[in-house]
Amino acid sequence: MDDGEELGMTIAAQVRPGERLLGIGIDTATVADSLQAAARFGDAYVRRVCSPAEAATLAHEGLARVTGLSRLWAAKEAVTKTLAPSSDDVWPWPAVEILPDGPGGAQTVRLHGHPARLAEQAGVRRLLVADVSDRNSASPSGRDTTVTMVALALGSCPTDDETSTPS
């Protein structure tokens, strides 16, 4: 199975009966980018990207910490792409919260503030994120490793009443 087929299977397995796909987003982050930002800006970078609850899930230091930051960043970007905000939409990154508190440690998405309102207006009932990183993308040093996350925005299928047209 190639990467595209695997991604398709990942997506199809997530959609429940009665749901429809409203949006899909994908983003790839490079660990080196988070490493540089964390080295230059320290906790200020973490505070601008992560909620306090997200920050608490990160490793305390080292490559594991910046890889976690990269994974969060890619997930937030992927979710944002499903919602397609306008250039003027207020979008503080901690308002798109990704926490590993789903079944079996699965990541769940919680939106706050404007992102939550935008999702509600779009009829989004559920948001999912999945790590679809290429297993071959890890570099020996870790710096050049990339992390790819895909997000799905799911809504309810229209009822018969909603789909029928007046005769």
Which residues form the interface with other proteins (CB under 8 A)? Answer: 29, 33, 36-37, 40-41, 44-45, 48-49, 73, 77, 85, 87-93, 113
Give, as one character, the DSSP assignment of residue 141: S
Compare residues 10 and 91 and give the one whose CB is closer to other proteins: 91
* CB neighbours of residue 24 within 10 Å: 15
Which residue has tokens 């508190």? 101
Compare residues 19 and 33 and give the one whose CB is closer to other proteins: 33
Compare residues 73 and 130 and give the one whose CB is closer to other proteins: 73
**Rounded CA gap, 120 and 92, in Å?**
17
Radius of gyration of the chain (CA): 17
C-alpha of 19 from chain center = 19
Least Å distance, CB 11 to other proteins, is 23
Compare residues 53 and 106 and give the one whose CB is closer to other proteins: 53
Least Å distance, CB 59 to other proteins, is 20
